[in-house]
Amino acid sequence: MHIQWYPGHMTKAMRTMQESLKTADCVIYVLDARAVLSSRNPAFDKMIAGMPVLYVFNKCDMVERADLAAWEKYYRERGLQCVSVNSTSGKFRAEVISKLLLLNKPLTDKYKAKGVNKTVRAMVAGVPNTGKSTLINCLCAGKRAATGNRPGVTRGKQWVSLSAGIELLDTPGTLPPAFEDQTRAVRLAMIGSVREEVLDVTELGLEAIKFFAMRNYMPFAARYGLDSLSGEPLEIMDKIAQKRGYLLGRDAYDEERAARAVLDDLRKLRLGKVMLDKVEEIDAKQS
């Protein structure tokens, strides 16, 4: 399948973000822990080149700790500041604020030497549905920004203040203008960062099945009562539909319903804690 979704409001949002960066001291880059690589926006990466960045691996509760630790190690070995959080829990608030202040210490120390207490201004950015607004609400210890479990909730420009001498700018989720890597696009769609209305759900379900089959992920087989994950993705989908009773007739399967079941099970952790992007994939491409 081929995925391309870049509505007009994202073009406007990218222009606004570029303008807002002129008054920002740093960036909080929110990535989905299930897809750390895929939830990076190359266009935004270019925009923030040279700025202090705190990478937040959000939804850390949805992946295995060992898998996420590999990404933390990968980032830190490259001199990048990162922190893993579940933004729906307030217990991560102090750690994020501490790391953000540490990231900006050279700047605040410079102002302090002049007798000025500098307020740190941080732009919060990321692709849709990574939990940017939820993170801001967590850091504010209260509901300040609009949230929703669907891409495209935040549209306007929203600055919020923290008592810790920090101001945050919430921004709309933006995707790359063009997906040069369709594997990343598919994985973003699998975790719900692309509007379902622009997707062929059956094709996306087949891509998800292909992903699990390639990894020979047996919890997937167990979930649907399959003996193995051998065969073509469509064959596996039909077996799932047959097992679940998703029928359109005597000899026809409701493949769209089966696809929706697979995607819903993935997003709601019924297939276990699944990390789509693993560090080993980067190492394999570079070797």
pLDDT of residue 83: 98
d(C-alpha 210, C-alpha 36), whole Å? 20
- 267's CB contacts (< 8 A; 6+ apart) are 191, 192
Q: How many C-beta atoms lie closer than 10 Å to residue 70's C-beta? A: 15
215 domain residue, yes or no: yes
Q: Which domain holds residue 252?
A: 200-286
CATH code, domain carrying 243 = 1.10.1580.10
pLDDT of residue 157: 57
* Whether residue 247 sits in one domain with residue 164: no
pLDDT of residue 211: 97
Give Dmax over CA atoms of the chain in angstroms. Answer: 80
187 domain residue, yes or no: no
* Whether residue 147 sits in one domain with residue 80: yes
* Whether residue 78 sits in one domain with residue 28: yes
188 domain residue, yes or no: no
* Whether residue 206 sits in one domain with residue 158: no
Question: Residue 52 has which token pair?
Answer: 């202090």
Please report where in the chains the tokens 């102090």 appear, as a residue. 94
Per-chain mean pLDDT for the chain? 90
pLDDT of residue 154: 41
Question: Residue 192 has which token pair?
Answer: 């719900």
* Whether residue 227 sits in one domain with residue 137: no
pLDDT of residue 192: 94
* Whether residue 233 sits in one domain with residue 110: no
* Whether residue 212 sits in one domain with residue 275: yes
194 domain residue, yes or no: no
Q: How many C-beta atoms lie closer than 10 Å to residue 263's C-beta? A: 21
pLDDT of residue 175: 86
* Whether residue 72 sits in one domain with residue 150: yes
pLDDT of residue 147: 39
Specify the pTM. Answer: 0.90
250 domain residue, yes or no: yes
Domain count, the chain: 2
pLDDT of residue 285: 56
Query: Which parts of the chain sit beneath pLDDT 70?
Result: 5-8, 142-158, 283-287
CATH code, domain carrying 24 = 3.40.50.300
148 domain residue, yes or no: yes
pLDDT of residue 13: 85
Instruction: State the DSSP string of the chain.
Output: -------HHHHHHHHHHHHHGGG-SEEEEEEEGGGTTTT--HHHHHHTTTS-EEEEEE-GGGS-HHHHHHHHHHHHHTT-EEEE--TTSGGGHHHHHHHHHHHTHHHHHHHHTTT--PPEEEEEE-STTS-HHHHHHHHTTS--S---SSTT---S-EEEEETTTEEEEE------SS-S-HHHHHHHHHTT-S-GGGS-HHHHHHHHHHHHHHTT-HHHHHHTT-S---S-HHHHHHHHHHHHT-BSSSS-B-HHHHHHHHHHHHHTTTT-S--SS-HHHHHHHH-
Domain boundary, last residue among 152, 170, 188: 170
- 208's CB contacts (< 8 A; 6+ apart) are 190, 259, 262, 263, 266
* Whether residue 207 sits in one domain with residue 164: no
Cβ 121 vs Cβ 24: under 8 Å: yes
